Amino acid sequence: MSKKVLLIHTGGTIGMARDDDSGILRTDKLYESLTSFIPELSEIADIDIEIPYIIDSSELTTGHLRKIIRIIKKNVDKYSGFVISHGTDTLAYTASALSYMLMNPTFPVILTGAQKPLSEIRSDARSNLINAIELSTMNIKEVAILFDDKLMRGNRTIKSHINHFDAFSSPNYPLLAKTGIDIEVYRKNILRHDGLFHIFDEFDNSVAVMKIFPGFSHSCFEPGENIRAVIIIGYGAGTIPIDNSGIPEKIEKWISEGKLVVLMSETKAGKLDPGIYESGKKLLDLGAVHSGDMTFEAAITKVMFLLGQYKNISIIKKNFRKSLAGEITVN
């Protein structure tokens, strides 16, 4: 008996069709007749389709994430796996968020998209969908992204190219699987859960992001009183200017107000260790926390997730330092 998979279509290039008059790509409910485009999918799994919304992925909000979670929640006992087709621009944000919302999943959730629509010649949508659906029938119990023959942990993945089919990468964590003539699953890289499955759907997006650049003026950045967390993106290992910049004083003020302050690096690969330089150590001594080797997508969705679960800043800081879903390498 073939396994049952639920395909959740949310929009994006993968399901678009080109308007004959304008040449513009427009959303289209292409998946209502999916088997006519890829008839061999029926040989892999018994597929049902649900379309909670169709949006340009740049319009993504936490409300859209809740809709996806509610669909999964009501269907956990009906399907062996879930595939989410999604626009590529915010695909890594959704994958990261879902990895926290679905704590200790007992099934695979595979997100995918495409650089060219399924309806066009030389589209990557066909292979991405086939591979995502086949991987969703396997014993891979985590939220992952399948793109261009690579299966990557969702909260370790970034969009790294606009035009290439190889559009996503996992800079700080190895692949979960590789598809080719055969599918190679790298079991040692897959999460091993040690807790009960639970679904969360609360988020708090009271977060501000400050990116440092040469000549940055701290007077241009003043998060409102309703902001509960500030993410600072510095250079290299997490360095920021401290001589006459006013930034350490700002951070001290925010921390005294009960805000979470997170220090990140603009560098994509490697582990952030701000303590090796004076500026970073000073911020840590003030009470800031660093993001380790988390991607920006994983870090900001993690902050919003934790703010949604807790009011106590000490608990939030403690959990931010933990690996909740394999998003950070903890020594």
From first CA to last CA, the distance across the chain in angstroms is 44
Classify the phi-psi angles of 81: left when phi > 0, otherwise alpha if psi is within -120 to 50, otherwise beta.
Answer: beta
Q: Please, are residues 252 and 288 in contact by the beta-carbon 8 Å criterion?
A: no
* 13 is annotated as an active-site residue: yes
Q: Please, are residues 261 and 229 in contact by the beta-carbon 8 Å criterion?
A: yes
CATH number for the domain formed by residue range(s) 3-199 = 3.40.50.1170
CATH fold label, 207-321: Rossmann fold (3.40.50)
pTM above 0.85, yes or no: yes
- Residue 37: its pLDDT value, please? 67
3-state secondary structure of 289: strand
DSSP state of 295: -
- Residue 35: its pLDDT value, please? 59
**Where do the structural domains in the chain lie, given as residue ranges?**
3-199, 207-321
- Residue 16: its pLDDT value, please? 63
Classify the phi-psi angles of 221: left when phi > 0, otherwise alpha if psi is within -120 to 50, otherwise beta.
Answer: beta
- Residue 126: its pLDDT value, please? 84
Buried b (16+ CB within 10 A) or exposed e, 196-231: eeeeeeebbebbbbbebeeeeebeebebeeebbbbb
H-assigned helices in the chain: 34-37, 41-44, 62-75, 91-101, 125-135, 247-256, 278-286, 296-309, 313-321
Q: Which two tokens stand for residue 193?
A: 């859960």
**Active-site residue (options: 10, 13, 90, 137):** 13
- Residue 18: its pLDDT value, please? 60
- With the CA atoms of 23, 26, 30 and 31 taken in that order, what torsion angle do they form, in degrees rounded to the nearest 10? 150
- Residue 225: its pLDDT value, please? 85
Burial of residue 181 (number of CB atoms within 10 Å: 0-12, 13-18, 19+): exposed
Query: What does pLDDT average to in each consecutive run of 10 residues of the chain (331 residues)?
Result: 88 67 58 64 88 90 96 96 94 98 97 81 83 96 96 95 80 95 95 92 95 82 90 84 81 92 85 70 87 95 98 96 93 60
